[in-house]
Amino acid sequence: MTQFKTLDDLHKVDGGNVHGKVVLVRVDLNLPMQDGAVTDDTRVRAAAPTVLELADAGAKVLLLAHFGRPKGERSSTQSLSMVVSTVESVLGREVMFCPEIYGPVVAQVVGILPPGGIALLENTRFWKGEEANDPELAAAIAANADFYVNDAFSAAHRAHATTEGLAHVLPSFAGRSMEAELVALGKALDHPERPVAAVVGGAKVSSKLDVLRHLVDKVDHLIIGGGMANTFLAARGVAVGKSLCEHDLTATADEIMVNAEKSGCTVHLPYDVAVSKEFAANPASFRVCNVHEVEADEMILDVGPAAVEALADVLKTCRTLVWNGPMGAFEMEPFDTATVALARTAAALTKEGSLISVAGGGDTVAALNLAGVAGDFTYVSTAGGAFLEWMEGRVLPGVAALEA
Ligand code: ADP
Ligand code: MG
């Protein structure tokens, strides 16, 4: 397992006393906003345990985060000052705002903050050195602090000054949310209980080629659904009508299936499907048919009920599941049926204790919420890009830098 230090280790340094010490905490505050108001505070709630634990131990906590894409320049519409009140209300503490991330103004804030005090520094991407991972910027930020804690897994696929560079200049630790994510992901793919199943769905093969290539080496069952299953079906000679299908990738799909066979991974494709002539919710006519009966003017929009039942049986034989991508066009009823049914099976098996289930991806999380089972999975990652890069088997620079 990947070795990294956690807050438990931080509490042990210097005789176990962070009281009065300055801790830089990288968090994810890239919050969705509408008309100047935060519409979802999930990311703040994810960071709260780490921030409160450090503050309660008497540390002076300096929060670092990026917001939007200001491209290295100050921008009043992308200032983190806009989220201070949200952070305060989630934490239930006063939070001081600092319009800089290094230099004398930050030193002043550190001087004013009492032990246990919390300050939010300005949007790190206002400085060009952030995305360039400039070591001078990292050193300047570090000059005002004693320790660095990274609690932003969702930004760990970027090697930026505050996601990676700081770990090289300060004693570094994973925050609680980062720790939970790394432990869950480790259980899912690095050292899983077998058999392992992966569900990969979503629109296109092209967006998840590296995920599929990596998974066939890692898992025992690869369940392919969603639009991308059509490309695999076409590779097997099935006429998929007007379905979303990347015909130029059928050779790649074949290659993935050959590699799967070589490494003992069973690929599951749907053998019945829900089809419609319209790409719309509740279309006037839709039907379930065998994959070999799709008409030339029909589209495959969901996996069929017989296939879902067979897939549920596969999950029953497995100990671990990793899921990315819906099985159908779940935004349009009734094409959410397969996704919802399989998600409920996975949730029930998890509750029974027979399955460890880890899921991630923007639409996947939305689909699990729709099914009402996100809370029943072992772990649901809200880190979009970082989760996918992890599923591709890539080393995330922000995580690698924390490794002890
Ligand atoms: P995630 O965000 O979880 O990584 P993706 O973005 O890869 O997932 O895929 C989600 C999208 O795939 C959804 O918008 C869904 O409508 C679409 N999709 C799934 N199945 C089909 C299908 N059979 N035909 C067309 N689109 C589909
Ligand atoms: Mg998506």
Residue closest to 221 by CA, chosen among 183, 263, 181, 180: 263
* Both tokens assigned to 284: 């006037």
Look at domain 7-178 and name its CATH class: alpha beta
Q: Is the pLDDT of residue 153 over 90?
A: yes
CATH class of the domain whose range is 192-391 = alpha beta
**Exposed/middle/buried for 11, CB within 10 Å: 0-12, 13-18, 19+?**
middle
**Above 60 in pLDDT, residue 357?**
yes
Ligand located closest to 387 CA:
1
- Mean pLDDT over 124-130 rounds to 98
Expressed in angstroms and rounded, the spacing between residue 326 Cα and the centre of ligand 1 is 6
Percent of residues, the chain, with pLDDT higher than 90: 95
pLDDT of residue 384: 87
Asked if residue 113 lies in contact with residue 96, where contact means CB atoms within 8 angstroms, the answer is yes
Domain boundaries, the chain: 7-178, 192-391
The yes-or-no answer to whether 7-178 and 192-391 have a common fold is yes
- The span from the CA of 47 to the CA of 309, in Å, is 39
Contact partners, residue 320, CB within 8 Å, separation at least 6: 187, 188, 192, 193, 194, 195, 196, 197, 355, 356, 357, 358
Ligand index nearest the alpha carbon of residue 332: 1
Q: Which atom of ligand 1 is nearest to the CA of 362?
A: 2
Cβ(333) – ligand 1 distance below 6 Å: no
pLDDT, one tens digit per residue, over 155-171 is 999 999 999 999 999 99
Q: Which atom in ligand 1 lies closest to the alpha carbon of residue 230?
A: 23
DSSP one-letter string for 262-323 = HTTPEEE--SEEEEESSSSSS-S-EEEEEGGG--TT-EEEEE-HHHHHHHHHHHHH-SEEEE
Distance 206 CA to ligand 2 centre (A): 13
Ligand 1: does its nearest atom lie under 6 Å from the Cβ of 367? no
* Given the residues 116, 241, 385, 393, the one annotated as active site: 385
Has 398 been annotated as catalytic? no
Give the closest residue (by CA) to ligand 1 atom 16.
329
Task: Please report the pLDDT score of residue 217 as a whole number.
Answer: 95
Query: What phi and psi, each to the nearest 5 degrees, are found at residue 85?
Result: -65, -35
- pLDDT score of 32 more than 80: yes
- What does the pLDDT look like over 251-285, one tens digit per residue? 999 999 999 999 999 999 999 999 999 999 999 98
Residue 1 has pLDDT above 50, yes or no: no
pLDDT of residue 41 exceeding 80, the answer is yes
From the CA of 384, which ligand is nearest? 1
pLDDT band at 404 (very low <50, low <70, confident <90, very high): low
> Which numbered ligand comes closest to the C-alpha of 362?
1
How large is the average pLDDT for residues 91-120? 98
CB of residue 363 inside a 6 A radius of ligand 1: yes
Total Cβ atoms within 10 A of residue 288: 17
What is the distance in A from the centroid of ligand 1 to the CA of 201?
A: 7
Catalytic residue flag (residue 204):
yes
State what percent of residues in the chain have pLDDT above 70. 99
* Ligand 1 pocket residue status of 139, Cβ below 6 Å: no
> Which two structure tokens, joined as six digits, stand for 231?
């490309």
Q: State the pLDDT at residue 16.
A: 81
Q: Confirm or reject: Cβ of 105 under 6 Å from ligand 1.
A: no
pLDDT higher than 80, residue 2:
no
Contact of 198 with 322, CB cutoff 8 Å: yes
CA 364 to centroid of ligand 1, rounded, Å? 9
Ligand 1 site, residue 145, Cβ cutoff 6 A: no
To the query of whether residue 385 is one of the catalytic residues in this protein, the response is yes
State yes or no: is 43 an active-site residue: yes
pLDDT range class, residue 344, cuts 50, 70, 90: very high
Catalytic residue among 68, 186, 362, 384: 362
Average per-residue pLDDT for the chain? 96
* Residue of 244, 358, 363, 368 best suited for mutating to test ligand 1, as the one with most atoms within 8 Å of CB: 363
What distance in angstroms lies between residue 366's CA and the mean position of ligand 2's atoms?
9
**What whole-number distance in Å separates Cα of residue 365 and Cα of residue 359?**
7
CA distance 235 to 7: 49
Cα 160 to the center of its chain, rounded Å: 18
244 CB within 6 A, ligand 1: yes
Q: What is the CA radius of gyration of the chain?
A: 23
